[in-house]
Structure formats: structure tokens, C-alpha cells
Structure 1
Amino acid sequence: MEKIIAGLVQMDSGPDMNENMRMAEQYVREAAEQGAKLILFPETAEYTGADMPGHASAVPGYVSRRFSSLAKRYGVYLHCGSMTVRRHPGRPSNTSFLFGPDGETIAEYSKIHMFDVNIPGSVSYEESREICPGNEIVLADTALGLFGMSICYDIRFPEQYRLMASSGADVFLIAADFTKATGERHWEALLRTRAIENGCYVLAANQCGQKARFEAYGHSMIIAPDGEILAEADDTPQVLIAELDPEVLERTRNEIPSLENRRDDLYRVSSGNVRIYEE
């Protein structure tokens, strides 16, 4: 991994796609002016409203081309957070794209864990009715480092992150629209745990503000491999900046070699569905 200045964008995306993309450009410019070479957006940065499937985008299309052009204009690695992508009959996918400084797509990842919950008298929601899940764990091998990609609810499934770490990931890129109700209890604990147990940097960009179904939590974070929070947002739109240092990564893994000490002979998890995209 190279030494990286990373920029994290916390947005309050709404139902106006043009306004969301206008704000995205402003945030990319702000992060790039502060030296960021890797910029990460939250989940569904392009549209957050009552009809997600109805606002699914074609790829290539308006949204993907806008993000691609921003990556090229500012010469950065740009992670779009995620987009609702019109790709599967009946159900779109919730898909992240990582664009290189030349504007080309390096990697794409579709959210694999669907939030399906039914609590009688309380919450009932089946994400899988609206969104088609992905079937691959994805890493992007770039000139800056090896990035593991994930989206929101994925952070509750440690197996995914262990497979990415054991496949060589240095940094986890997490795009989210995490609710305030659960975020206040679980967000920081889950993110810091994913960093500590795998000895990886965590970049977690979250939505903020009132959405159609809930209030988003905000509190986007950049976390070091030892669990130290390097930067944290409040509950308003903003850009976070922090340095990711390969020496810190190496020192942390040497001090606590949990990846080396694991017993795969007892609890092996198949890596057959891991895909590594090369730049």
C-alpha cells in the first residue's frame, strides 16, 4: 500500500438526482483541493427517495459518466459509494464502482447481503424484494493499494471482511445509508471491530439526514488498523480527510498477528467467490 490522503464524503442525498450530482462535484473538488487521492461516497449517493427501483440508472449512463468524468478531471481514485443499477430483470442491483484517475472503471461490487427483517408489531422490510443481491466478494488491486469493497448491511457479516483481508486487502471501503436507530448502538462498534480483527484501515462513508423511511445516522469514519478513529463526522454533510500510512498498517499487523495466527484448518471459509480486479 502507498501512503494515501483519503477523502470521505458524507452526503444528505435526496430525490433530486441532478442536485445530488451537483453536490457530488462540489465535494470531489473540496476533497481534491485538500490533497485527497482516494475519495469515497456513501451508499446510493445519486438518489435516495421513496422509489429506489424506479430511479435505477443504466451503466454506462448519466450517473456513471458523471463520476467517471470527475475522477479524470481531478486525477483521483473515485469510489461512487453505490448506485441503484438497472441491470437485472425485475430488480436492480445496489452496486459500487471504483473509477481510476483516467476515468476508467477499475472494479464494481454489488451488495451481497440483503436486509430482510420481520419483527411483528415493529419493523417489516424485505430489501430482497427490491434489490437483486450480488454473488461475489470484490477487491480492487490499484496503484495505491488493495481495496476491499462492501455496502452498509455487509458490515454485520465478518466472514466477508476476513476473506478480503486474507486475500490481501489493506483498506476496506464501506458505503452506507445506516439508520440513526441502529447507528447509535452499533455503527462505531462494528466498524472498529472490522478494522481491529483484520488489521485493515476502514473508510466508511454514511448518509445523513431524513430519508423516506428513516433518519440516516451520519458519523462517517476513517479508522486505523488498531481501531483508532482518525476522523469522524457529525450528522451533517461534510468531507473528512485523513492519511493512511503503510508503516502503521505493517506495525499493527506485526504487533498483533491475528491474520497469521488463525486456524484455517478448523474453520476454513471458501474463497471461491472472491474476485480481485486489477487496475
Structure 2
Amino acid sequence: MTDAPAPPLIALVEMTSGIDPDANLRTMDRALGAAAAAGATMAFFPEMSVLLDRDRTRSAAHIGTEGDSSWVPALQAMAQARGLWIHSGSMPFLSDDGSRRINRSHVIAADGTVVAAYDKIHMFDVSLPSGESWSESSSYAGGESLVVVGTPIGMLGLSICYDLRFPELYRALVERGAEVIAIPAAFTVSTGEAHWHVLQRARAIENGCHVVAAAQAGTHADGRSTYGHSLAVGPWGEILGESTASGVAGDTYARLVLAPIDGAATARARQSIPIDRSRANRRLIL
């Protein structure tokens, strides 16, 4: 009797991205080197990994259409050099007609091929009790398509940050075959302290999925602060890995969280609590 192969290992890369894309890309490359050395199969970056800048006038100098940008080719080259699959977290681009920005994730295979892209659907338009106010929709257009893609860690459903608050999105991803959900984020400190862990674990439990959430953390060059606590959550709701670093600053910071992604755990969770079967059998009383 032979031992079962070990489940694939992922690396969540927690960052304190800044306003210089070249500096952020150098940090990402160093983190990928560390992830490869640790035996990871796939690395996940946070939302706005390559550029995090709330000053829309200043950031405009760096943001163009994807076709005119060097960022994705740079990550493709890193994937090839390190032999790793990469989830980019997300990056800002202009729509093809140049009228709006889009917040886009990419999944890149170890040979450098871009196998999927996803545009954030839900815009973060809020006024928080902390006094913070955010209006993403004033500059960004929301995406319209759900994306699930095959990877070495299973069928991966894509989402970004504020999407986390919309459980119907994750139900739809699971119905399309998702076994693992990526939720790269740049959560504010106040919302992170209140909701980050419970929402990540809820999405994992209610869908019988692994959730992998690489996060921005610390004090950024544009003046904002983000919550961090990058998480990998198992389909039973257990935390498989978490970053607890705090007080970090600067665009050279990156911290790895390593976690196994065991497909058998997904099957066990879904067999133990057969939500799909119960949903199919339910009778609604209106």
C-alpha cells in the first residue's frame, strides 16, 4: 500500500503595496522566489498588488489598457522563471475604450500562459462609521462575468475583495464547478476587524470550498491602512494558515502564508453536509 500524495501547497503573499509599480513588481518577484523555495505549487497576491494608490490623478500616469501595459507580461515571465502558477490578486487597467478603470485578476500558468481573467463585479461604495468614505464606482466599472478555471489545486472561482459580501456570487461559482475560491483583498482596518474572518469562514462553510484570501496589510504610501490577516480556510471552516503581522509599512514588505489545499477535504465536507441535495429538495413557503 502506497501513501497518498501530499496535497498541493499554496503561498498567500501578503503585501504593503505602494504607488511605484516597479517596486511592487520587484517585491512580488522576491516573494515568488521564496514561495518556490518553500515548495508551493501556486502563489496568490492581494488586490491591487502592482499599484495601490487612491490618488486618481497621480495613479493615472501608470494605468493604461491591458494591451498597453507591461504588468501582465512581467508576471508571465516570473511564472516561467519560478515554475509557479500565479494568481495576480488584481491590477487596475483602463477599459478598452479608455472611458473607465477596471479592477482585474489574472490566473497565469507555470509556463506563462494567461488562463483566465476576472473583473471585479461589486464596487466598494460606502461611508463607514470610522469616517472613511469610498466610491469605487466613480472611477471603476464593474465586471459582468463569472469565472471558474482549472488549476493544479482544483477548480478555482475568482472574486475580489468587496465581492466577499455577496454570497449569491459564490453559490453561482460553485454551481459552475468551483472547489477553491480566491478572494484577494485590501480591506480597511475597521471593516476587517469586524467582518473579515467571519465572512471568509462563512463563504468556505456554506459552499464546502477552500477559500484563499491574500490581503494588503499595514500603512501604505498613499496614506491608507489595510487590515491584513491573509487567510486560507478549509471547507469545514478551519483556518489552515493566517498572517498576523501588524504595523508594517512600505512597498518592499511581503510575508508568505503557506497552506495545503486538500481536494479530499472538499469532498468530505460536501458529503457530510449535502447542501446541494437539501437545496434541490426544499419547498419554499411564500
User: How does the TM-score come out when normalised to structure 1?
Assistant: 0.89
1:117 corresponds, among 126, 134, 140, to 126
For 2:70, the aligned partner's letter is Y
Answer with 67-76 or 200-209: which moved more.
67-76
Aligned to 2:71: 63
Preserved contact between residue 153 and residue 261 of structure 2 (Cα < 8 Å): no
In structure 2, do the counterparts of structure 1 residues 264 and 31 end up closer, same or farther at CA, with 3 Å as the change threshold? farther
> 1:201: how far off?
0.2
Count of matched residue positions in the alignment of Structure 1 and Structure 2: 266
Aligned to 1:217: 227
CA-atom RMSD in angstroms: 2.0
Structure with max Cα Rg: 2
Answer with 25-34 or 69-78: which moved more.
69-78
Distance 1:265 1:93 in 2: 39
For 2:26, the aligned partner's letter is R
Distance 1:25 1:162 in 2: 34
Preserved contact between residue 58 and residue 85 of structure 1 (Cα < 8 Å): yes
> 1:130: how far off?
1.1
> Are residue 202 (structure 1) and residue 211 (structure 2) matched?
yes
**Secondary structure of 1:183 counterpart:** helix
1:232 corresponds, among 217, 223, 242, to 242
In structure 2, do the counterparts of structure 1 residues 62 and 116 end up closer, same or farther at CA, with 3 Å as the change threshold? same
Aligned to 1:42: 46
> 1:263: how far off?
3.9
Distance 1:265 1:107 in 2: 35
> Are residue 162 (structure 1) and residue 171 (structure 2) matched?
yes
> 1:121: how far off?
10
> 1:190: how far off?
0.3
Preserved contact between residue 57 and residue 83 of structure 1 (Cα < 8 Å): no
> 1:143: how far off?
4.5
For 1:69, the aligned partner's letter is A
In structure 2, do the counterparts of structure 1 residues 186 and 83 end up closer, same or farther at CA, with 3 Å as the change threshold? same
Percent identity between the two aligned chains: 38
> 1:51: how far off?
2.9
> 1:259: how far off?
2.4
Once the two structures are superposed, residues 49-107 of structure 1 have per-residue CA deviations (whole angstroms, 9 ceiling, x without a partner) of 23355132432431111111111111211011100012243211000000011101000
**Secondary structure of 1:6 counterpart:** strand
For 1:79, the aligned partner's letter is H
Preserved contact between residue 97 and residue 107 of structure 1 (Cα < 8 Å): yes
Runs of 4 or more off by more than 6 Å in structure 1? 264-267
> Are residue 252 (structure 1) and residue 259 (structure 2) matched?
no
Q: Name stretches of at least 5 consecutive residues in structure 2 with no aligned partner.
A: 1-5, 249-253
Answer with 186-195 or 61-70: which moved more.
61-70
Aligned to 1:272: none
Preserved contact between residue 41 and residue 152 of structure 2 (Cα < 8 Å): no
Distance 2:223 2:190 in 1: 12
Distance 1:73 1:18 in 2: 18
Aligned to 2:25: 21
Distance 1:238 1:257 in 2: 36
Q: Name stretches of at least 5 consecutive residues in structure 1 with no aligned partner.
A: 268-279
